[in-house]
Chains A and B, each alone.
Chain A
Amino acid sequence: MEAARDFLRRYGGLMTAYIFAGCGIWMIGMIVLPQLLMVEKSLIYADKAASAQVAMTRGETDRLFVEMGRAESRIRELDRQIESIESGEGGEQQQSTGSILNPFASQSPQSALSAEELEAEMAALTARIETIKQEIAENDAALKDLMVEAQPKYGFANYAELIANDLNRAIFFKTIWSSVMVTFVALVVCYPIAFYLAKAAPSEQAALLMLALVVPYWVNEILRTFAWLMILSDGGILNSALLWLGAISEPIRYRAGNAAVVIGMVYAYILFMVFPIYNTIDTLDRNQLEAARDLGAPWWRIHWRVVIPHAKPGIAVGCIMTFMLAAGSYAVPLILGGTQSKWFTEIIYDNFYEANDWGLGSAYAFVLLATCIVFILAMMKLFRVGLQDIAK
């Protein structure tokens, strides 16, 4: 309340309204509520067997109605025939109507059926209509129960599906594992670069290299990934080069497994690893390095005992960003992945736009989100950094 008064005093009514309304809409309308509704959606499921049964029962009822209609019109016709027989008129008319209704039944119209036989058929049909009516009533009763059963319900069935579905579960774990791999490789590749840019390079060169590092990132992610498609495809540049060198005798199928996706992702997200690490190493006092060197520490110990402890928050942020981007990447696996290397995000997309099962898709999406949150918390714990350090 006091805070609100402070805002009113400083910014006036109009500005205060803008600030609070803006933050409110953003926080609640764009972040919190959508996420909550996604979770809600993920808890809604429809029993698939029950809905299939509903469809089947409905079809059966329709079929019964058609049969009943046929029987009724046959009865009407029989009625007419009986009437005409009783009034003594010939079979001429009977022949024509009979042939329309059932050409096979009236092959010998001259040997007109006797009234008794017609009556018997009519009785049989009437009995049949009765049973059909009964069956329809039974179906309707069953349908009511089934409809209740098939109605969307709250529950954890969508999550249970992920646990039960061997293929999707395997893809989920593969995605997580591959993302950890991407993060690790990116860290190993980027740390030396970040250190060199921050401490070793002459400042003029560092500024240029920095620019060189950013330039590829102004090019669209899809295009960057596409470049790797050219390199890693079966008849691509890498295979051609290796074949030409005689290093291999047959093209390697990088895209069959995960290799292509991992390489493409390291390339796509490297900047998110370099910059956080660079920023923290940049704040390290150069004198500390000098002191360590003067005291006789070899270069690797300087890194292990001085630089890396100082760069911890940067490393944590880099790992979090890279992991999050890799696990949530849809573009790279879409373009670089083969049929064998599906990514979890692709499964989520298919749930939404191919299977049209939003509940299941939301559940999968929430599992992905939860995984990222767990990873972030683990990293924060491991490197002992707070949220304030992360969002810089």
Chain B
Amino acid sequence: MTGRLDSNALLRFATRGYLILFFAYMFLPLVFMVIAAFNTPGIPRAVPFEGFTLKWFSRLFANEPLWSAVLNSLIIGIGVICLSIFLGLAGALLLTRLHTQARTFIYGVLVSPLLTPGIILGISTLVFWNNLGVGGGLLLATLAQSTFISAYCMLLFMARLQRFDHDLEEAALDLGASHQQVFWKITLPFLKPTVLTGAVIAFLQSFENFNTTVFAIGTDTTMTIQLASMARLSLTPEVNALAVIFIGLTVVIAILYELKRRAERIKQEMQREAAARADAEMIETVSEPAALLAKPQRA
């Protein structure tokens, strides 16, 4: 009996130790990054700390090539959002309604870019468009990235459409609505949260993409490409300063997300109480998109 208890305690101790080690592994590199951004030496170094400085930030803001590369990244990102939502939605609508054998095949083809190494997507796009006389650049980078980012959007739309009551469309059609009206008034409003999520994910994926872009971009640059050459060739703490900005943004977003999650949980509990009191027929989940939104994060 005591032996069992001891081993349980040991296990718990080991688990705790492992968790600490694991999260140290995850976060210490970022901590070093941040420290080095404020350290005076000209090579990024966290230890020894020789003095506090903000000069790497002012250098960063004066780095013209980097900011024009950021502009390129934004242009590509917006292009990728438009294209991926457009293609992803088409794919999701096709696959949710298709019940023939072709479905598996089409699904396989559309999802395959997610399982393909990024450089292959970049190379194949480059070779394809080069045959048509189009060289590498922002356009090709946008197309190459959209190849796989559309698949992310499609999977998001498909997950959302699974919870869609297709009878609503039928009912609207029976009541004399045109197809356009059905799409704009019923289907799209239901998909709206996913459009937003998809746009955010598409942008983040595009902004951070390196492997695909590096082949398709030609002589242009994006922020990530510029960053890679900075990290490789001119080792200065400017890179760290940029990292601090990114990490800061991330932490702020994470905190906001956590606050939102908590608020939603409270709201959800209140709703649950209200639901218990209300008559079951009174709850119309579909006419209440907020209730669908507030699905529990964890089952």
Using a CB–CB cutoff of 8 Å, the interface residues on chain A facing chain B are 3, 6-7, 10-15, 18-23, 25-27, 30-35, 37-38, 41, 189, 192-193, 196, 200, 203, 206-209, 211-216, 218-231, 235, 237, 240, 267, 270, 282, 299, 320-321, 324-325, 327-331, 334-335, 345, 348-349, 352, 358, 361-362, 365, 368-369, 372, 376, 387-388, 390-392
CB nearest neighbor in B for A39: B124
Instruction: Check if B61 is an interface residue, CB within 8 A of chain A.
Output: no
- Does B108 lie within 8 Å of A219, measured CB to CB? no
Most A CB within 10 A of own CB, among B169, B227, B257: B227
- Bound complex: CA A226 to CA B226 (Å): 13
Query: Which chain B positions have C-beta within 8 A of A372?
Result: 115-117
Most chain A C-beta atoms within 10 Å of own C-beta, residue among B146, B253, B254, B258: B254
> Are A237 and B46 also in contact (CB < 8 A) when A219-B243, A227-B32 are?
yes
A221 to B223, CA, bound (A): 12
A12 touches B180 (CB 8 A): yes
**Residue B206 at the chain A interface, CB threshold 8 Å:** no
Task: Report the bound CA distance from A218 to B251 in whole Å.
Answer: 9
Query: Known contacts A216-B30, A348-B119: does B47 contact A240 (CB below 8 Å)?
Result: yes
Give the number of chain B interface residues (Cβ < 8 Å). 95
Please give the distance in Å from B105's CB to the nearest CB on chain A: 10
**B116 & A369 in contact (Cβ 8 Å cutoff):** yes
Closest chain B CB from A40 CB (angstroms): 8
Interface centre among B29, B98, B108, B183, by most chain A C-beta atoms within 10 angstroms, is: B29
B52 CB–A CB distance under 8 Å: no
Does B100 have its Cβ within 8 Å of any Cβ on chain A?
yes
The stretch of B74-82, B89-97, B191-199, B269-277 that contacts the partner chain: B89-97
Chain B residue numbers with a CB within 8 Å of A368 are 117, 119-120
Q: Contact partner of A26 among B150, B204, B299, CB < 8 A?
A: B150
**Chain A residues with Cβ under 8 A from B109's Cβ?**
27, 31-32
Q: Closest CB-CB distance, A317 to chain B, in whole Å?
A: 10
- B254 contacts across to A, CB distance below 8 A: 211, 214-215, 218
**Quick check: B97 and A37 within 8 Å, CB to CB?**
no
Is B111 a contact of A223 with CB atoms below 8 Å?
Answer: no
- Decide: A330 near B91, CB < 8 A? Known: A212-B26, A220-B227, A358-B127: no
User: Inside 8 A of B227's CB, which chain A residues have their CB?
Assistant: 220, 222-223
In the complex, whether B298 has a CB less than 8 A from a CB of chain A is yes
CB distance from B128 to the nearest CB of A (A): 4
Residues of the A chain whose Cβ atoms lie less than 8 Å from the Cβ of B210: 221-222, 330-331
- Chain B 111-151 interface mask (CB, 8 Å, partner A; 1/0): 11111111110011111101100000000000100110011
Name the one of A19, A31, A211, A220 contacting B224, with C-beta atoms under 8 angstroms: A220
- Contacting residues, chain A, for B211 (C-beta < 8 A): 328-331, 345
The smallest beta-carbon distance between A261 and chain B, in angstroms, is 14
Chain A nearest Cβ from B290, distance in angstroms: 21
Q: A30-B143, A193-B22, A349-B214 are in contact. Are A226 and B179 (CB under 8 A)?
A: no
User: B202 at interface (Cβ–Cβ under 8 A)?
Assistant: no
